[in-house]
Structure 1
Amino acid sequence: MADNSSVLTVSIVTPDGKVYERESADLVVVKTKSGQLGIMPNHVPVIASLEVDIAKVEYGENTDEIAVNGGFIEFSNNNVSIIADSAEKQEDIDVERANKARERAQRRIEEARQKHDDATLRRSQIALQRAINRINISKH
């Protein structure tokens, strides 16, 4: 059994509930608003806003990849908590649904550009980013 001071406990939750949990991780890598952040056991405490991107959880020779769509990460006492707007484990991603979401977002972006609707354009760009993130993670 691993020494508690040399492993991470990782939890990813959304408003809909817990999406992921691992009690013995070696490394967590996420993309924050300031850039990429890697957390290993005994890292200094941190709180950071997350970008729409992949969260990687490494343990032994394995890596779990989770599509994280915004939110924030908090780390202290070897506990990593990711509170995300939404998140999906790689094996739970419905690729067909993600492709449809990508196509829908691309259509809405074009419509918003033609109408000079900045609010709809920004929302559609975020939707496109989320769909592409999910598609990319499903291919790993």
Structure 2
Amino acid sequence: MANKILLEVVTPDKLLLSKEVDVVVATGVDGEFGVLHGHVPFLASLAIGEMRFKDGNDTEYAAIAGGFAEVTGEKVTILAEAAELAREIDIDRAQRARERAQQRVEKSRAEEMDYARAEASMQRAIMRLKVAGRTGGLG
């Protein structure tokens, strides 16, 4: 595992990913952070956002719906409320979810319903669509 770091992405339902990679970049509540092998240990709260990881010349993306990241010098563990790899996101389903979420946001504003839940739903749907369309490098 020379110069590689083990990335594990875990949701309440399953182990989504366990892979040795060169670099991990995730979205914390305080901003984006990157991790290489030998990184100083830390714990971070994750926002609804994109995670990407690179193994050689291959970069992959995932949509992360909040949670925590635990970083050691040898391993990054993502404990996510929900997570999907970009290649597994059904774009049509994600677009329908975004439309439903938009309707809930508009309805919650008009009827003073639970706006925060509706907005979080909308953010998750938008992130899934963004990640589903990703290809290319870490930039």
Do they superpose with TM above 0.5? yes
1:12 corresponds to which residue?
9
Alignment correspondent of 1:48 = 44
TM-score, normalization: structure 2?
0.93
Which has the larger share of helix? 1
Aligned equivalents of 1:130, 1:20: Cα separation in 2: 20
Corresponding residue number in structure 2 for 1:127: 121
Taking the aligned partners of 2:90 and 2:18, their CA distance within structure 1 comes to 20
Which of residues 32, 53, 60 is equivalent to 2:56? 60
Rounded Cα–Cα distance in structure 2 between residues aligned with 1:75 and 1:139:
27
Identity of aligned residues (%): 35
Give distance in 1, aligned partners of 2:12 and 2:112.
32
Q: How does 1:49-88 map to 2 (within 5 A)?
A: 49-88=45-84
Distance 2:73 2:26 in 1: 18
Structure 1: runs of 5+ lacking an equivalent: none
Q: What amino acid is the match of 2:90?
A: D
Runs of at least 4 residues of structure 1 off by over 6 A? Answer: none
Structure 2 residues not aligned, in runs of 5+: 135-139
State the 1:77 CA deviation: 3.3
CA distance in 2, matches of 1:12, 1:98: 21
Post-superposition shift, 1:123? 0.4
Q: Aligned partners of 2:130, 2:32: CA distance in 1, in Å?
A: 18
Pick from 21, 29, 47 the counterpart of residue 33 of structure 1.
Answer: 29
State the Cα deviation string for residues 66-110 of structure 1 (Å, max 9, x = none). Answer: 111100100113111000000001111011111111011111111
Return the alpha-carbon distance in structure 1 between the equivalents of residues 88 and 45 of structure 2: 24
Deviation at 1:64, TM superposition (A): 1.0
Tell me how large the CA RMSD over aligned residues is: 0.9
Task: State the TM-score, normalizing by the size of structure 1.
Answer: 0.92
Q: Deviations over 1:5-40 (max 9, x none)?
A: x110000010001111212x1110011011111001
